[in-house]
Structure 1
Amino acid sequence: MERTNSNNLFEIAKNFIPGGVNSPVRAFGSVDKAPIFVEKGEGAYLYDVDGNKYIDFISSWGPLIFGHSDSEMRSAFIEALDKGVTYGLPSAIEVEMAKEISDAYPACEMVRMVNSGTEATMSAIRTARGYTGKDKFIKFEGCYHGHSDCLLVKSGSGTLTYNAPTSLGVPKDVIKDTIVCEFNSIESVQNAIDENKGEIAAVIIEPVPGNMGVVPPTQKFMEDLRELTKKEGIILIFDEVITGFRLAYGGASETFNIKPDMVCFGKIIGGGLPVGAYGGRKDIMSIVSPLGGVYQAGTLSGNPLAMYLGLKTLRRLRDNKDIYTDLERKAKRLEEGFKKNISDLGLEITVNRYRSMISMFFTGGPIDSYKDVQRADNEMYGIYFREMLKRNILLAPAQFEAMFMNTVLTDEHLDYTIKSHKEALVEINS
């Protein structure tokens, strides 16, 4: 097969893969460009098949906290590979991983390993429904929880909306019990509960959304949400597929000092391999099969490769908590540099940051909700993306994603990025 460049590969791929990619964001459609096809990753860099070298701020959408091809992670992978790829039976490494997660995350008294974030959130919702005997649940505008049918619901322009699927093939009956509320608005949650008294099983939320760009919640909103769900006997589910072990060792639960009833993990707990997990209070998780009547299974769940790599990641983070301080320092350095450039140029652009996650929106601030996010200029972001790419900096090919810091990014990388950011903004506004 011809592999001369990304464009050729894309044309070939389109004959065999829908849209030429295995996940829509990889199509680079929102930045009006053919996708980059990667040859390899090393340290802070990605290398494409065209011979270009990029500073990578995608980090495989978060999990590569130690960068690409880290020597310790590579050794852990080879060690695991020597013991076999998959067994189809329990192994000690699964038990070690479950204990590590439970020790790190007090709300997660029991945990079940799965193979993706979508599988984790889907299973958590089913478990919450089975535990409470109720069918309805609340999600928030702009929070993405994977592509299972009941969670693919379009948010409306009001404070809450029902039954508007965002994908073909999702039956209306499947999402009739999905309620969408406004992120950062406890009033919208209270209204939804009042209108559906005694019928709501769970509230699921990305505590720090990363799929509408980084939009931090207020501390009060999170505290009020915890208090309200407790009062109403509603299970609170934190979707920490992105934020778990990324923001802090105890995830967003630690940073906000809030204990949910259930939690979903992904990304980092596999060290970059496909993985997911859901867990929570022991009384809730005890209704999952084979203990209880909520059925969930997976042939490759807890596979040894992902468990070895994930456990290596978690233990490195556990034993080196200063990593989190350094990641946040790097993100803050970028934030301050970006904001100075924007101010110097007199532009209407908003930079949001929470810990080591950062986003830039081509609109004035503040950006506190999905409604605010919708004001952002996608076309301008696409032009900016391409200008940064010319300077060998790889950002997410969509405005509504995060930049992720890792341990191998240096101050020289960051300073070059800040300099390139200003040059790109000057170019697109000249």
Structure 2
Amino acid sequence: MTVATGRSLRSSAELIRAEEPVLAHNYHPLPVVVARAEGAWVEDVEGRRYLDMLAGYSALNFGHRHPALVAAAHRQLDRLTLTSRAFHNDRLAAFAESLAALTGLDMVLPMNTGAEAVESGIKVARKWAYDVKGVAPDRATIVVAADNFHGRTTTIVGFSTDETARAGFGPFTPGFRVVPYNDLAALEAAVDETTAAVLIEPIQGEAGVVVPDDGYLRGVRELTRRAGCLFVADEIQSGLGRTGRTLAVEHEGVVPDVLLLGKALGGGIVPVSAVVARREVLGVLGPGGHGSTFGGNPLAAAVGSAVVELLGTGEFQRRAEESGVLLREGLTALLGKGVKGFRARGLWAGVDIDPAIGTGREISESLMREGILVKDTHGSTIRLAPPLTITEEELHTALAALEKVLGQGPR
């Protein structure tokens, strides 16, 4: 049991056991209890340090406790935290203006979580279909991709193809058509006069960082424009610097009608998400049609503005691109040495481990024992998504640990 000043008086094992009877078992976390963090490193209650190669599924793109973001939060905590949207607050306009400018779009609908942004985007797309496109009432459809991950609300899991997410939660909301990802012909066949929107991830994160073929996103943009429906890009994981661009769609020079943002938008401090869209689209909302008590609160707006300011320098996009080259080189060197394949863009990779060596969970646990934190996704695939602040030395440390773990053979 640790007794160091400032540390918990309960061990990791004790704290994990304490969770068992009182927390719903909706996660299967690695057996590490984080107590402190800074930059790319976290520390458990016993004082062991780990290199964070997951970064909160991209919520910590700027690392833990980035000084500029913590300072922005502290300043706002001393002034005003919440008004609800029943009143205006003095931070919201600046946040919305800066985020719209960063994305090249017109209007912002601030929300809290990523799933809330997706739900909001679905509502807005349907309203647009009725009010602007002229789809008959209650007939609007939205086309989505197989193996998607957009959240875990009832509506969203209803169009998931992951049975773990779906099983036991029906009946589900109608109005969605599922087509294979990265298949423009299938997408075109699914789109008709009832289609309000095509909703896709520019890169599928939960599926294992699946990067589509060159031209796919341009094809989606052209198809939706011809069909007179919306292109809704879920950039909750892929956006805000992760892939070496502000947005993943920028790799193909594409501007969607609607962007869904979250995770990194809160700087790893508070939940912040947003629907960002053309004025014609978000302009369909009127008072009472949608809302959120905490959406656009002053604390969130202050932190979100600081995030946009950091991205405005271009530094983090450059770091992701440059460090991403090192990540790809390191993973390429491990091909045939326990790595069967990988997909990567910027500082984001899905790594397929030889199943003979271990499952993704087993590899994650082995890396944890080496002081590296990653998380499995499906089967023997692990995801790497370190903070964009990671140094070259830290990245080499993580890759060396992976090489060591793979070299230890089957679990």
* TM-score after normalising by structure 1: 0.84
- Do the aligned residues in 2 keep the contact of 1:124 with 1:279 (CA within 8 Å)? no
Tell me the distance in 2 between the aligned counterparts of 1:93 and 1:214.
35
Instruction: Report matched runs for 1:71-86 at 5 Å.
Output: 71-86=67-82
CA shift in 2, pair 1:9/1:335, >3 Å:
same
Instruction: Report matched runs for 1:266-305 at 5 Å.
Output: 266-272=262-268, 273-290=270-287, 295-305=289-299
Q: Unpaired runs of 5+ in structure 2?
A: 1-7, 131-138
* 1:369 match: none
CA shift in 2, pair 1:165/1:407, >3 Å:
closer
Tell me the distance in 2 between the aligned counterparts of 1:262 and 1:378.
42
> What one-letter code is carried by the residue in structure 1 that aligns with 2:387?
N
Q: Deviations for 1:208-256, whole angstroms, at most 9, x for unmatched residues?
A: 1111121111222111111111111111100111122123564123222
- Do the aligned residues in 2 keep the contact of 1:361 with 1:377 (CA within 8 Å)? no
Matched, 1:244 2:239: yes
- Do the aligned residues in 2 keep the contact of 1:327 with 1:405 (CA within 8 Å)? no
Pairing partner for 2:394 from 413, 419, 424:
413
Tell me the distance in 2 between the aligned counterparts of 1:5 and 1:205.
43
Give every structure 1 segment of 4 or more consecutive aligned residues whose post-TM-superposition deviation is greater than 4 Å: 154-157, 376-379
How far did 1:35 drift? 3.2
SS at match of 1:202: strand
How far did 1:429 drift? 4.2
How far did 1:203 drift? 0.9
> What one-letter code is carried by the residue in structure 2 that aligns with 1:340?
A
* 1:337 match: 330
* 2:306 match: 312
Q: Unpaired runs of 5+ in structure 1?
A: 29-33, 158-162, 364-375
How far did 1:378 drift? 10
SS at match of 2:318: helix
- Do the aligned residues in 1 keep the contact of 2:327 with 2:347 (CA within 8 Å)? no
CA shift in 2, pair 1:198/1:3, >3 Å:
farther
* 1:385 match: 364
Pairing partner for 1:232 from 227, 230, 244:
227
How far did 1:135 drift? 2.1
Tell me the distance in 2 between the aligned counterparts of 1:201 and 1:409.
40
SS at match of 1:111: strand
* 1:69 match: 65
* 2:19 match: 13
Matched, 1:54 2:33: no
Tell me the distance in 2 between the aligned counterparts of 1:289 and 1:266.
23
Tell me the distance in 2 between the aligned counterparts of 1:180 and 1:224.
17
Larger helix percent: 1
> What one-letter code is carried by the residue in structure 2 that aligns with 1:342?
L
* 2:108 match: 111
Tell me the distance in 2 between the aligned counterparts of 1:429 and 1:401.
16
- Give % identity: 23
Tell me the distance in 1 between the aligned counterparts of 2:259 and 2:204.
15
Pairing partner for 1:87 from 73, 83, 88:
83
More deviation, 258-267/391-400: 391-400
More deviation, 331-340/2-11: 2-11
More deviation, 206-215/240-249: 240-249
- Do the aligned residues in 2 keep the contact of 1:152 with 1:167 (CA within 8 Å)? no
* 2:202 match: 207
CA shift in 2, pair 1:299/1:401, >3 Å:
farther
> What one-letter code is carried by the residue in structure 2 that aligns with 1:198?
E
* 2:118 match: 121
Matched, 1:171 2:177: no
Aligned length: 390
How far did 1:95 drift? 0.6
> What one-letter code is carried by the residue in structure 2 that aligns with 1:225?
V
* 2:147 match: 142
Matched, 1:39 2:35: yes
Tell me the distance in 2 between the aligned counterparts of 1:348 and 1:225.
32
* 1:222 match: 217
CA shift in 2, pair 1:225/1:42, >3 Å:
same
SS at match of 1:51: coil
> What one-letter code is carried by the residue in structure 1 that aligns with 2:95?
M
- Do the aligned residues in 2 keep the contact of 1:102 with 1:109 (CA within 8 Å)? yes
How far did 1:71 drift? 2.1
* 1:394 match: 373
SS at match of 1:169: coil
How far did 1:392 drift? 0.3
Q: Deviations for 1:361-413, whole angstroms, at most 9, x for unmatched residues?
A: 125xxxxxxxxxxxx78952222212211110111243566422334322221
Tell me the distance in 2 between the aligned counterparts of 1:48 and 1:164.
30
- Do the aligned residues in 1 keep the contact of 2:149 with 2:160 (CA within 8 Å)? no
How far did 1:155 drift? 5.5
CA shift in 2, pair 1:248/1:99, >3 Å:
farther
- Do the aligned residues in 2 keep the contact of 1:244 with 1:250 (CA within 8 Å)? yes
SS at match of 1:201: strand
How far did 1:299 drift? 0.9
Matched, 1:426 2:407: yes
Tell me the distance in 2 between the aligned counterparts of 1:142 and 1:423.
31
- Do the aligned residues in 2 keep the contact of 1:362 with 1:380 (CA within 8 Å)? yes
Pairing partner for 2:343 from 334, 343, 352:
352
Q: Deviations for 1:316-348, whole angstroms, at most 9, x for unmatched residues?
A: 2212x13322222222212211221234x3x45
* TM-score after normalising by structure 2: 0.88
SS at match of 1:219: coil
- Do the aligned residues in 1 keep the contact of 2:316 with 2:389 (CA within 8 Å)? no
How far did 1:181 drift? 0.9
Tell me the distance in 2 between the aligned counterparts of 1:180 and 1:260.
20
